Amino acid sequence: MRKAAKQIILCAVGLVLFCIVCRAAFFNQFHIYVPVPAERQENIQLRTEQPEVLRIGEAEKHDGFVKVPVYPDRPGEADLMYGSGADGAESLVVLRVDRFHTVYDMNTGNFTGDTAVLIAVTLFWLLVSAIMMWHFFRAKGALFYDYGSIYYAGFSLFALASGLVMLSVTVTHFAHPETYSMYSAYSAISGASTRYMLMTMPLMLLFAGAMAVSNIALLRHERPRIQNLLGLLVSVMLVIGEALGWFLFSRDFMGSEMEARINSTLENTYATVFVYFQCMLTGAVICGIKAARNRPAPDKDFIIIHGCWFRPDGTLPPLLRGRADRALEFWHAQKEKTGREARFIPSGGQGGNEPMAEAEAIRQYLLSRGMEDRLILPEDQSMNTYENMDFSRKIIEEENPESQVVFATSSYHVFRSGLWARQAGLTAEGIGSKTKWWFWPNAFMRETVGLMQKRWKQELLFLVTLIAFFGTLSMVLW
């Protein structure tokens, strides 16, 4: 994450320098676009009562508007009046010149070099997306199990969508500055979260519906428990969140300018919070699926099998048997391809209602499937996933610290287990066993909540930073 952050900061600094260079080298005048019907353009009259601030050039007539160049001479404010002379009526354009001779059109928000700024903002979003995607796809093997992967997967899509929107804004402003002013561009910049929420609304509602269907199927197969209702709860929250967002964004608002600013800020703040959780959920889902589909190289010395509940008679239920079978499948495939015999580390201590350690139950199952006892090194003290990894690491280091390791667990649990492995100092890749379609989504939601819960302080800080950023943009660029 730090490397990506440094690259993003360097991009931002480079784009600021780009704007400065463009402003200094290419923008020595400013154009005002005055709406005047074609039949009244022949008699158009332009004047200013502050000629010492800026000079007016020769107007260019276009269909429906007149393009007027102005040349700043010194800082100050100037009023540009224009009219056809037919009825003596005049309209007013308020201009301001700063000490760098940058001209600001207070009517439209346009300013000298505004197109370069829009290009820079567009490039920034696209570069952020490219940097995040590059880091996401570059992370291979054990390096993939990192919280940064969630950020890269989720927020790269947000940055890409924002960049494409800004590309459209930039092209439109460049091609039609007379009708598409910078105030419209400001709205697009400050409302990036709102736009993304509206763009992805159909997909999120579809995801919520699929989650609800799988959760209902789960409840038909499993007993009702709080853990088995998490997917349904997430679905309801997504639907309510999208409905509230639609209500806020589609309603007509009447009020003063300050009230409108506050309303826009509240809308964008709500969208920012929703999009943040949406991106984290999206990133976690993508990382979970990628981790579950991982196919490690057949060069492993140890295969850790994560334990879980088993039957009172010592036999393995489908969930635990699936983990052991996945480990056996990998062992046989590696042996056939390379001749290399990996050793098994069944991992898991004895729970209060279990007749033996989970590691021992897995060991007996491996023996029943033809594995030799010399290939099995049980770890029978751990009480959770972190201890599975930590205690297994100690066994591996006693045998050979340079060993190549893979762990076998349920498909929905691979990514989070990989995070625990890194925290325990164990370099290992994961392989996932198949689970029932109706069980996987709800279980994965539990894993996602567990991922976020572990880092709630960091996530809260990041969320507050995003709210402050987009909230400030809404107030300043309204």
Please indicate, yes or no, if residue 58 is contained in any of the structural domains. yes
Query: For residue 201, what are its two tokens?
Result: 């609304």
d(CA 419, CA 431): 14
E-strand stretches of 313-463: 343-347, 405-410, 429-433
Please indicate, yes or no, if residue 119 is contained in any of the structural domains. no
Give, as one character, the DSSP assignment of residue 86.
S
278-301 per-position pLDDT tens digit: 998 899 889 999 999 989 999 999
Please indicate, yes or no, if residue 43 is contained in any of the structural domains. yes
Give me the pLDDT at residue 87, please.
55
Please indicate, yes or no, if residue 193 is contained in any of the structural domains. no
Please indicate, yes or no, if residue 87 is contained in any of the structural domains. yes
d(CA 157, CA 151): 10
Q: What is the mean pLDDT of the chain?
A: 88
Give me the pLDDT at residue 449, please.
79
Please indicate, yes or no, if residue 67 is contained in any of the structural domains. yes
Please indicate, yes or no, if residue 234 is contained in any of the structural domains. no
pTM: 0.87
323 in the Ramachandran plot: left (φ > 0), alpha (ψ -120 to 50) or beta?
alpha
- Positive or negative torsion for Cα 320, 322, 325, 331: negative
Q: Which residue has the higher pLDDT, 336 or 478?
A: 336
323-341 per-position pLDDT tens digit: 999 999 999 999 999 999 9
Q: Which of 22-36, 153-167, 178-192, 264-278 has the highest mean pLDDT?
A: 153-167
Query: 397 pLDDT exceeds 90?
Result: yes
76-87 per-position pLDDT tens digit: 998 888 876 555
Label residue 386 by pLDDT band (50, 70, 90).
very high
86-107 per-position pLDDT tens digit: 555 677 888 999 988 999 998 8
Q: What is the CATH number of the domain that holds 58?
A: 2.60.40
Number of domains forming the structure of the chain: 1
Q: Which structural domain, as residue segments, surrounds residue 72?
A: 30-105
Please indicate, yes or no, if residue 360 is contained in any of the structural domains. no
Give me the pLDDT at residue 86, please.
55
Give me the pLDDT at residue 80, please.
85
Return the ∠ at Cα 456 (arms to 452 and 461), rounded to 5°: 125
Give me the pLDDT at residue 89, please.
65
For the chain, percent of residues with pLDDT exceeding 90? 49
